[in-house]
Structure formats: C-alpha cells, structure tokens
C-alpha cells in the first residue's frame, strides 16, 4: 500500500513539473506591508486568518523565511531585484535602486521581457519609488488616506489647512530622471499630520484604502481573463502598517479583554543601546503620549489593531483568490504571499520594525504552485530568504534563471521539502550614532542569531550580539561576552564574513 502511495505521489509530482514546463503559468504576487507570521497557519491560534491559512494548506509554507533588511524600500528592492542591500545600496526609503544599479532587470521586468503582461496594483515598490520599466502599463495606487471616520478625516483636513497657512505644509518632493522618467529620490518637507494609531470605522471593506486595492485587483483579473498573454499581477496591501485602520467587524474578532501582551517587553540583557529602535513612527500619531514607552492600555489597543488589520487583509486576499478561482485562472496561476518584513508588537521593547532581531527580520512566505500541487501543506523548516523569490518564480515558470541573482531558486525544495538547504540567512540594518555610522550585519543559522555592528568608516566591529535559539527563542539575553560561547562566535563571525555565497547548499 505504501509503495503504491509513494508511486502515485511521484507520478503526481512528475505531472506537476511537466505541466509547469509546457504551459506558461500566470503569477499572482501578493505583498503585505509589515506582516509578521502572526497567522493561524504559523501557529498563532488566536488569529482569524482563514484565507491565508488555506493558501498554506494548498501550497508550501516556509516556516523560516527572512528579509534582507527590515524596512520597506530596502526589503522590496532586494526582493524585486534578486540582489542584497550591499549590491543595491538601498538602505532607506528615499532613493531609487536605479540611481545605483541602473541596468538591473527586476523580477516583473524579466517576466515582461519574456512575453508576460505585467501590472502593479497598490504598494508593491515603496510609495513614490515605482519602477516604470517593470510594468506593461502604468501602476495603479489607491487614494492615500487610510482612515474612514468622518471626525478623523475632518481633523486631518483642519490640521493640513493650518500648516499650509503657516507655511509648514507637508510635501514629498520627487526627483525624476530626465531621460527615463524614473522617480530617483523622494524628499520630505514640512510637518506631516498624523491621526490616531488605530481606527475602527463601521464601513464596508471596499471603503478603505486596502479595500479599494482589492476591488481594483479583482477588476484587473477580469480584464486579464480574456487576453492571450500570461500575466504577472502584483498586488500590494498597506495594512497592517500603521495606522491600523480596519472596519469595526475585524476589531470585534478580538475583544479587548482577550489581548495578551508580549512578556519580553524589555531590551535583551547586555544588548548595545543602538540595537534597539525607540519606536520611530509610532510617536508621530496623536494618541501616543510618551516618547519611549507605551502604556499597558495603549499596548493592548495597538496589538488589537494589528490583529484586526491582519484579519482585514486576510478577508481581502480571500476575495481576490475567490475571483481568481471563479474566472477559472487559479489552476494555472502561481500564487505568492509574502510580508516585506516583520513588526515588533512590544517584543524587545520595540513597537516597529527596523531592527536585526528575529521578530523584525522573519516574514510569512507562502507559495502555491500551479495545478494540484502533490505536496500541498508542506511546511519546510529550511532557512530561506526573500531574495530567493525572484529565482524561484522564474524557475517555476519554466524560464531560465539569470546568473547574476543573489538568491537561490526554491523549486527543488518545493519538490522535496525535506532537502538540506542553506546553512544561514543574512539581514542587515544601519544606525547613525552621533557622528558614527554603523551597519549591523546579522546571520541566522539553525541554532543561533549572531550580529556584528561595524563602523562604516573603518570596518571595525563596534559591538556583537549572540542569541542561542535552542534556549532563548525570544532573544532575551545577548551572549556575546559569555566565555562559553567564544568559539561559536568565532565560527559565526567567519560565516558572516564569508557571506551568502558560502551558505548555499552543496547539491
């Protein structure tokens, strides 16, 4: 009986591979802002995420996927170019990658050059730093406002009018390349008006910004149904990025009294001060009173808002997948769901991303290959990176993987989830401390997270961090100065300096 089942599995797998090679598949690429693996399928039992959970059951859910830098533009740039931040030179949200590597061919651009129709809906590249070369038609963005309550909208309007009258109006100045029209840089001027950090308007799903993105994506699928070219459709959702604004019914899924806060709401022991972010953007919102601390009540409100925003996005993704299915497109469409990075909900004393900790660098990543994937529900523990998405999609589509990519196609792992894989994943984050510029380089192995903070002026190590995940999965204690770990630190330092090329599997 077992031999028969094994043979049937092999035949299904052969059919899956053959079908992918002979019929150009479509690609539906869904990227969600600030989405950590706070999903039912990742073990977060309190979460209501049935649609993303269903995708995990139909495809491959990578348990340990890591971004290359835990902030929007660097992560998305790395993912969409297939190159690490050291190559793209994008470490913040102000510059376009083509200012540094202008000849690069992006993931959607590669598909476009191989006969695909490519289109972007919502936030795919970072806001105002879109890449016209990537798309067959102009990208579509929803209206900027995230809020839905009349009183909030009225407050924002009053404040904006006041700042305009005072000559302090907020503006984003975009510098375009004169020859290509690419938005090369974004400069912010004036004072930006922020509303509350969360909001629960009693409105329909399609009223808010992400709902409009879903609606446009559904309309786009309907238009793509009858065209002859295969498509690469990228859809980007803004929630659960601050502010956590979702229809009230999603807040109702998470009663206030049911919210539990992180227990490790303090900096790791013996960690350098600059490894911790003092919660950046959160303190720009009008309902946040303290500068470096969040009250217990506000913390519960924020966690509840994040959960609600995640469930809201889950529902919108469900509508999108349902339309793909209704149109008869699902069987021949590769579906990718990914968060651009994680987000601290009080862990390590942080309420943001922008760190090198596990919480910020780990992302949900699910791939549903075309057809009836024979290993549906696979959950490999292999270390993978978001820079791997580019070669993986190209490979699954039956196209030749470009030789200059810095990620690794996961096709073999998708076909055999038990394969031995990369021995490490790499991330980084910069810090400016007075007149000193540091870059924190971090490596995640099977058992450890090791970080070196280097002075960018001379390359010298300013400080180190080591976390032993076998005894400290929450990264609460920095062991870098522990004498019992010095040999391990030396080995991990060598591994970190050798970089991603030496971390690749041997097969």
CB 77 within 8 A of CB 88: yes
- pLDDT of 504 strictly over 60: yes
> For residue 178, what are the β-bridge partners?
none
Q: How confident is the model at residue 22, as a pLDDT?
A: 62
Instruction: Classify residue 16 as left (phi > 0), alpha (psi -120 to 50) or beta.
Output: alpha
Q: How many domains does the chain have?
A: 1
Q: Is residue 463 part of a domain?
A: no
Q: Is residue 172 part of a domain?
A: yes
pLDDT band at 5 (very low <50, low <70, confident <90, very high): very low
Q: How confident is the model at residue 10, as a pLDDT?
A: 40
CB 464 within 8 A of CB 480: yes
Q: DSSP state, 452?
A: E
Q: How far apart are CA 139 and CA 147, in angstroms?
A: 23
CATH number of the domain bearing residue 41: 3.40.720.10
Q: Is residue 428 part of a domain?
A: no
What number of CA atoms fall less than 13 Å from residue 129's CA on the CB side? 22
pLDDT digits (tens, 9 = 90+) for 105-147: 999 999 999 999 999 999 999 999 999 999 999 999 999 999 9
pLDDT digits (tens, 9 = 90+) for 10-63: 444 444 444 444 679 999 999 999 999 999 999 999 999 999 999 999 999 999
> What does the DSSP assignment read for 194-226?
---SEE-----GGGSHHHHHHHHHHHHHHHHTT
Q: Is residue 1 part of a domain?
A: no
Residue of 37, 125, 116, 121 lying closest to 75 (CA atoms): 125
In total, the chain counts a number of residues equal to 507
Domain holding 320, by residue range, is 24-415
Q: Is residue 80 part of a domain?
A: yes
pLDDT digits (tens, 9 = 90+) for 340-399: 999 999 999 999 999 999 999 999 999 999 978 999 999 999 999 999 999 999 999 999
Question: Catalytic site residues?
Answer: 72, 126
Q: Is residue 495 part of a domain?
A: no
Q: Is residue 217 part of a domain?
A: yes
Q: How far apart are CA 40 and CA 379, in angstroms?
A: 13
> What does the DSSP assignment read for 365-381?
EEEE-SS--TTTTB---
CB 108 within 8 A of CB 468: no
Contacts 24+ apart (CB under 8 A), 211-218: 211/316, 212/142, 212/143, 213/121, 213/122, 213/142, 213/237, 213/238, 213/316, 214/316, 214/317, 214/319, 214/320, 216/121, 216/122, 216/140, 216/142, 217/121, 217/122, 217/320, 218/319, 218/320, 218/323
The continuous run of DSSP H or E covering 384 comes out as strand 383-385
Residue of 108, 38, 122 lying closest to 389 (CA atoms): 108
Q: Is residue 243 part of a domain?
A: yes
Q: How far apart are the first and last CA of the chain?
A: 31
pLDDT digits (tens, 9 = 90+) for 182-210: 999 999 999 999 999 999 999 999 999 99
Q: How confident is the model at residue 153, as a pLDDT?
A: 97
Q: How far apart are CA 374 and CA 382, in angstroms?
A: 19
């Amino acid at each position: 009986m077992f031999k028969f089942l094994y043979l049937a599995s092999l035949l299904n797998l052969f059919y899956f591979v053959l079908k992918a090679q002979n019929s150009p598949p479509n690609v539906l690429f869904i990227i969600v802002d600030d989405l950590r693996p706070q999903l039912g399928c990742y073990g977060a039992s309190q979460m209501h995420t049935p649609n993303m959970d269903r995708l995990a059951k139909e495809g491959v859910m990578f348990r340990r996927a890591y971004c290359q830098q835990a902030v929007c533009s660097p992560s998305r740039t790395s993912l969409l170019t297939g190159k690490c931040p050291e190559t793209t030179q994008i470490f913040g949200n102000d510059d376009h990658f083509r200012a540094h590597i202008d000849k690069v061919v992006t993931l959607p651009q590669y598909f476009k050059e191989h006969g695909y129709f490519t289109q972007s809906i919502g936030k795919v590249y970072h806001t105002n730093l879109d890449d016209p070369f990537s798309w067959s038609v102009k990208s579509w963005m929803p209206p900027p406002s995230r809020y839905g309550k009349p009183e909030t909208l009225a407050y924002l309007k009053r404040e904006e009018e006041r700042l305009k009258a005072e000559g302090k109006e907020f503006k984003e100045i975009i510098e375009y390349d004169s020859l290509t029209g690419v938005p090369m840089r974004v400069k912010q001027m004036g004072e930006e008006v922020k509303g509350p950090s969360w909001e629960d308007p009693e409105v329909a799903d399609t009223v808010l910004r992400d709902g409009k993105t879903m609606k446009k994506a559904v309309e786009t699928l309907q238009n793509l149904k009858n065209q002859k070219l295969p498509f690469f459709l990228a859809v980007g959702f803004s929630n659960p990025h601050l502010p956590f604004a979702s229809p009230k019914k999603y807040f109702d899924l998470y009663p206030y009294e049911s919210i539990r806060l992180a227990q490790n709401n303090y900096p790791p022991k013996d960690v350098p001060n600059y490894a911790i972010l003092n919660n950046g953007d959160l303190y720009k919102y009008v309902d946040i009173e303290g500068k470096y601390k969040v009250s217990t009540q506000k913390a519960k409100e924020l966690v509840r808002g994040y959960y609600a925003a995640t469930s809201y996005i889950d529902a919108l993704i469900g509508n999108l997948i349902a339309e793909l299915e209704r149109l008869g497109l699902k069987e021949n469409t590769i579906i990718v769901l990914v968060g651009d990075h994680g987000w601290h909900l009080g862990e390590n004393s942080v309420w943001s991303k922008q760190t090198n900790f596990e919480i910020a660098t780990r992302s949900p990543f699910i791939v549903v290959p075309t057809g009836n994937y024979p290993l549906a529900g696979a959950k490999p523990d292999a270390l993978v990176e978001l820079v791997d998405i580019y070669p993986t999609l190209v490979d699954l589509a039956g196209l030749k993987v470009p030789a200059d990519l810095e990620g690794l196609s996961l096709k073999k792992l998708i076909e055999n989830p038990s394969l031995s894989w990369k021995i490490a994943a790499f991330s980084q984050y910069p810090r400016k401390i007075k007149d000193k510029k540091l870059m924190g380089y971090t490596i995640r192995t099977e058992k450890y997270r090791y970080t070196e903070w280097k002075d960018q002026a001379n390359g010298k190590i300013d400080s180190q961090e080591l976390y032993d995940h076998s005894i400290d999965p929450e990264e609460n204690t920095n062991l870098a100065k522990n004498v019992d770990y010095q040999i391990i630190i030396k080995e991990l330092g060598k591994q970190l300096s050798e970089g991603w090329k030496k971390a690749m599997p041997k097969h």
